[in-house]
Structure 1
Amino acid sequence: MFTDIPWTELSEKRHDKPVTLIDVRSPGEFSNATIPGSVNIPLFDDAERAEVGTIYTQVGTDAAKERGLELVSAKLPAFIKQFSAIPGDKVVFCWRGGMRSKTTATVLSLMGIYSQRLAGGYRAYRRWVTEQLETLAFSPTPIVLQGSTGSGKTQILMRLKQEGRPVIDLEGMAGHRGSIFGGIGLRPNNQKTFDSLLLDALLEYRDEQFVLFEAESKRIGKIVVPDVLYSSRSRGYQITLELPVEVRAAQILRDYEPWKHEQDCIDAFSRIRERIHTPVAAEIDGCLRTGRYAPAVELLLAHYYDPLYAHSSASALEPGVRNLTVQAVSADDAYLKTKLAIESIADHSSGN
Structure 2
Amino acid sequence: MFRDISLQDLFSLQEKEPHTIIDVRSPSEYKEASIPGSINIPVFTDEERAEIGTLYKQVSKEAANERGLDIFAAKLPAFIREFKTIDTSMTVFCWRGGMRSKTAATVLDLMGIHANRLSGGIRTYRQWVVKELEKEVFPPELIVLNGYTGSGKTALLKRLADVGHPVIDLEQLAGHRGSIFGQIGLEPNNQKKFDSLLIHELDKVKKAPFVYIEGESKRIGKVLLPSFLFDKKENGIHVFIHLPTEERVKNILADYNPWESRDKFIEAFTLIKRRIHVPIAKEIEQSLEDGHFETAVKLLLENYYDPRYEYSTTKHPHENNFVIHADTIDDAYEQLMKLGTSIEKMKII
TM over 0.5: yes
Partner of 1:211, secondary structure, is: strand
Match of 2:333 in 1: 335
- DSSP 3-state at the match of 1:197: helix
Aligned partners of 2:240 and 2:313 also within 8 Å: no
CA contact (8 A) 1:239 1:341 kept: no
Between the aligned partners of 1:72 and 1:212, the Cα distance in structure 2 is 48
Letter in 2 for 1:278: V
Shift of 1:15: 1.2
> Is 1:110 matched with 2:101?
no
Corresponding position of 2:162 = 162
Hey, what's the Cα distance between the residues in 2 that align with 1:235 and 1:281?
36
Divergent runs of 4+, >2 A: none
Question: Cα deviations across residues 189-212 of structure 1 (Å, max 9, x unaligned)?
Answer: 111111111111101111111111
Deviations 1:134-191 (A, max 9, x none): 1141100000000000000000100110111111010011110001111111111111
Q: Do the aligned partners of 1:184 and 1:261 also contact (CA within 8 Å) in 2? A: yes
Map 1:1-352 to 2 at 5 A.
1-311=1-311, 313-314=312-313, 316-317=315-316, 319=317, 322-351=320-349
CA contact (8 A) 1:19 1:88 kept: yes
Displacement of 1:9 in angstroms is 2.2
Q: 1:219 to 1:234 in 2, by over 3 A?
A: closer
SS of structure 2 residue aligned to 1:21: strand
Structure 1 CA distance, aligned partners of 2:178 and 2:144? 16
1:306-352 deviations in Å (ceiling 9; x for gaps):
000103x15532x476011000011110111111111111111122x
8 Å Cα contact 1:236-1:321 kept in structure 2? no
Report SS of the residue matched to 1:342: helix
Deviation at 1:234, TM superposition (A): 4.1
The percent of aligned pairs where both chains have the same amino acid is 52
Is contact 2:242-2:326 (8 Å) kept? yes
Alpha-carbon distance in structure 2 between the residues aligned to 1:61 and 1:342: 62
Q: TM-score normalized by structure 1?
A: 0.97
For residues 222 and 182 of structure 1, the distance between their equivalents in structure 2, rounded to whole angstroms, comes to: 11
The CA RMSD measured in Å over matched residues stands at 1.2
Task: Specify every segment of 5 or more residues in structure 2 that has no aligned partner in the other structure, as ranges.
Answer: none
SS at match of 2:35: coil
**For 1:239, what is the secondary structure of its paired residue?**
strand
1:18 positional shift: 1.4
Shift of 1:236: 2.3
CA deviation vs aligned residue, 1:261-315 (integer Å, no higher than 9, x gap): 111111111111111111111111111111111111111111110000103x155
| Gapped regions of structure 1 (runs ≥ 5) | none
8 Å CA contact 1:6, 1:118 repeated in 2: yes
Q: What letter matches 1:328 in structure 2?
A: A
Tell me, in whole angstroms, the C-alpha distance in 2 between the residues paired with 1:288 and 1:85. 48
Helix, strand or coil at the partner of 2:142 = strand
Count of residue correspondences: 349
The answer (yes or no) to whether the contact 1:235–1:320 under 8 Å persists in 2 is no
Q: CA deviation at 1:235?
A: 4.0
The SS at the match of 2:95 is coil
Quickly say closer, same or farther: Cα 1:287–1:320, change in 2 above 3 A. Answer: closer
